[in-house]
Every structure is written in C-alpha cells, then in structure tokens.
Chains A and B, each alone.
Chain A
Amino acid sequence: MSATEALINPEPAKLVVDGVSKSFTTRRGKLQALDNVSLTVSEGEFVCLVGPSGCGKSTLLNLIAGLDVPDSGTLSSDGQLISGTGRERMVMFQEHALFPWLDVLGNVLFGLKLKPNLTDKDRVEVAKYYLHLVGLSNFAKANIHELSGGMKQRVALARALAPNPRVLLMDEPFASLDAMTREQLYEDIQKIWAARKKTIVFVTHNVREAVCLGDRVVLFSPNPGRIREEFPVTLPRPRDINSIQLASLASEITRALKSHLPTA
C-alpha cells in the first residue's frame, strides 16, 4: 500500500446497537448504566448523544469501540459483530489521552505504525497529511505539554483520523475548552467531516453543540440509562452555532431534556 492508497477514504460503516444492556457492580450495589438500548447509525451519519451526567453515554461509546462487552444485546458494524477494538472504529476520548512520551508526530504515527503494508516513509507522509488537516503542520516536533488544550484535541483528532477509520467515536472532546476555541473546532470538524466522510457518534452535554454538528440528536435519560427521544436536524450546513434557527431548535431539545429528568 502506498501513502496515496492509505489516504483513500473507505466507505463509512453502518452501526447497529440492538437491545444492549450494561451494568456495573459497585460497592453500593448494582448500577444499570444502560438498559435495553437500541440505536442505528447509518453510513456517514453524524449522530450526537445528549443527556445528563451518568446516563451511560460513555458506556455506550466504549461498547461500540469494543473496549467493553455488553451484558446482553449485540453491537455490529456493517453487519459484523463487534467483539473487540478495531482500527475501523477510532475513539477520541474526553481527556485527550495523548502519549506524553511521544512528540506530536509520534502520537499521530502510533496507530499508523500498527497498520501493516505501509512503509515508514508513507506512514510519516500520511501523519503529516492529517496534521496539516487539523492545522498543526508546524507542530510535528512539539511535545504534548507544550500545546494548548485546543491544540491537544486537534492532535487527538489527527491521531484518530490517521488510521483512516470508517467510524469516529468522540466522547465530549471539546468539553474542557473555552467557547472561542470550541467554535473554531466546530467549523473544523464540519469541514473535516465533509472532506473525509465518516460515521460519527459524538457525545456531548451541550445541546447547542449537538444541534450544530449532528444530523440527529439522541436524548438519553439516567437511572437506568435509556434513549428517550430523537430529533433529526435538517438545518443546512455548514452551520453557525450562533444562528437563530439553531438556537430555537436547541431550546426545544433542552426543554425535552428537562422533561425527562427525574423530578425530585
């Protein structure tokens, strides 16, 4: 395989989550993180999962990633049962999870080095392509601690994109960033999504963020974690997070979200 071939975009995958339950045994007893959750994400769709803290969004993402196994139910990617992690499903974690012992380029190369049939020269070329895509060409040799929070998330994005996955799983990737940086990243992520069509599952607390990015917003409620409602978003792209239509849809969803909260 050459670098050019490694950059050819694969078909995005279709994800099917079917009747998945997952519980954790804690010191305070059994905790039902997910209860009979079913969700279908079609090829190339951008789905946002929204819900209050503890409703099992990260748990679901980890299951799709293949990092954990469900108690019952099945998950599949393009009809293939998910039984472990796989390079076609890459994850961007809430904390950037970059490796401090490697420089920026080394981090982006990590997954590529595990990809067979590529020469090291091609791997570097591919890594540099993605660093350029996230606007960090000049920081290939920088150490992780020298980057700002937003830059770290960009590197994490480049690292997740580099093995050319068909699915991108993003767990509140921008939660710890300031509003300005986030808005810049919304634009970037939409551009990248347009350029490199992926199926994306994006977890967030921020309803506006979900409406800005998603084709569909899925509402979760906690105790036990369940899907309550879904909202298609048909606003034209690229979307501006400050637009009025976006804001009014977001407030509608926020109202729905509040109505699902357990009343004390």
Chain B
Amino acid sequence: MKRAVVAILFFVGLVGIWQAMVSSGHYSPVLLPPPGDVWHYLVEAAKSGELAKATAVTTKRLLIGYFAGCLLGLPLGLLTARSKYLNDTVGVLALGLQTLPSVCWVPLALLWFGQTEAAMQFVVIMGTLWSVLIAVENGVKNLPPLYVRAARTMGSKGTHTLTHVILPASLPYVISGMKQGWAFAWRSLMAAEIFVTILTGVGLGHILHYGRELNAMDQVLGIMLVLVVIGLLADKLLFSPWESFIHRRWGTARN
C-alpha cells in the first residue's frame, strides 16, 4: 500500500515537473507540448481506432516472431549443448549472429521478403532466436551433473530427463535468455517500423515516424508512452510470473 502511494506520487510528480517546464515559457510548445495535449492526442487516436489498430499490427508481429524464435531456439539450444558437432557448427554460428545487432537484418529481410509482414517477423525471429539458443545452451552446460545422475538412479532417462530435469534445472538461464531475446526483438522491430514503410500494415513505429514528419510532438510523445506501457506489460505478463517462481524456488534474492 505504502509502496503504491510512493509510486503514484513519483509519477504524478514527473508529470507535474513536465507541466511546470511548459508553463515557465522557456521552451517552445512545438518541442515540448503540455501533458494535456499528449493526453488529448492519445484519446483522439484511441477514439478513431487508429491506435488500437497500430498496436494490434505491432504486437502481432512481435508475438508471432517472438514465439517462433523461442520455439526454434529452445530445442536448438538443448541440442547444441548435448552434441559436440552441433556445438562446433550451430553453436558457433549462433554465437556469431548473436553479436550482430538484430536491426542489421532489416535490409536483408526487405530484399528477401519485400515490404511485408514476413520481413518484420523475420527480423523479430532473428532478434530472438540466437539469444534464446545461447542462453539455453549455457544453462544446460552449467548444469551440475549430479542432478542428472540422481534422476537416473530414480529411473529417469532420455526425453524424461530432458523435460523433467535438464530443462527445469536450467530455467533461470532460459528465462533470462528469453528476456534478452524479447528486448532484442522489440528494439529491432521498432527500428524497422520507423525506417521502413511496410505496405501490409501501419504499426506504432510508423505513427511515430509520421509524427516527426508532421512536426506533431504530441503524437511522438504519445506513441512513445504507448511503447513504454507495452514494454512494461510484456515484462509483467510474460516474465514476472516466471521470475517470481524462480526467486521463490531457488531462493535467490529479488533483484
């Protein structure tokens, strides 16, 4: 309760400072519109349905690409950790590609897929896949062999060991890899949407871009706010439950 009050006071304070800066008259209202204008823009955009549509386009790209990336990265990570040959091939490839900023995939994706959804999803997958793969591989490699041996004495083998011992034991690594993959995917998607017009749908990045072209600062700030909220929601919905499970079970301190 007390924490909620502190948090609310903090954000109200931020808006207050913003409003005070505008009211002081030192700053051009074109560059720094009052909070009310941004709110007004958001309400209008929500009413016209533009905001919901763009949010849907963007989150759909993100979610499809992200889950595809995880679905590929998880088993590949398990396999590269368990096989020397895959480790020397796919493992090295993943390590190299993970260092590549994922926005670098945009030109290639556009040439291959054109200005389409496929291009956007490809970029998101490339952002996700390699981080998840490497995190899973790391988790499995750092696993104490004792767990697998103990499981074997109780009759666990093969796929059962994989799904009931190796995967849950490396959960802390897997989740942090998935989180990193999410961050990469989200950043590269925004970069792509801002710099490239995609013919199959107008995403949040585009609206942000139009905002700049029209010199509509209320629009730019409004969309940025929406992006922040999406980021926070994703964290709360996708990762927080897992993270608190890990903290509870492993007894690691809450960061």
Contacts and interface: CB of A to CB of B under 8 A. Distances in A.
B interface secondary structure, majority: helix
B160 interface: yes
Given A99-B165, A101-B168, A114 B156 contact: yes
A146 B154 CA distance: 24
Interface string B64-88: 0000000000000000000000000
Contacts of B147: 97, 99
Contact of A115 (B155, B165, B168, B250): B155
A91 interface: yes
A87 B153 CA distance: 7
B154 A101 contact: no
Nearest to B171: A101
A85 interface: yes
Interface residues of B, number: 20
A145 interface: yes
Contacts, number: 64
Interface in B211-226: none
Contacts of B168: 99, 101-102
Contact of B153 (A89, A95, A99, A144): A89
Interface string A166-183: 000000000000000000
B150 A85 contact: no
A115 B165 CA distance: 17
A101 B169 contact: yes
Contact of A67 (B152, B155, B165, B171): B152
B155 A163 contact: yes
Given A67-B149, A91-B150, A93-B146, A101 B249 contact: yes
Contacts of B249: 100-103, 143-145
Contacts of B154: 87, 90, 110-111, 114, 159, 163
Given A97-B146, A114-B160, A85 B153 contact: yes
Given A99-B147, A110-B154, A111-B154, A146 B171 contact: no
A100 B146 contact: no
A102 B150 CA distance: 14
A143 B153 contact: no
Interface in B117-165: 146-147, 149-156, 160, 164-165
Nearest to B246: A101
A54 to B, nearest CB: 19
B254 to A, nearest CB: 14
B127 to A, nearest CB: 28
Interface in B169-224: 169, 171
B169 A111 contact: no
B248 interface: yes
A87 B168 CA distance: 22
Contacts of A65: 153
Contacts of A143: 248-249, 251
A90 B149 CA distance: 11
A160 B150 CA distance: 10
Nearest to B169: A101
B160 A85 contact: no
Contacts of B156: 110, 114
B146 A85 contact: no
B159 to A, nearest CB: 12
Contacts of A146: 251
Interface string B224-255: 00000000000000000000000011110000
Nearest to A95: B146
8 contacts: A65-B153, A85-B152, A97-B150, A99-B165, A99-B169, A102-B168, A111-B155, A145-B251
Give 4 nearest A-B pairs by CB, closest first: A145-B251, A111-B154, A101-B168, A114-B155
Interface of B: 146-147, 149-156, 160, 164-165, 168-169, 171, 248-251
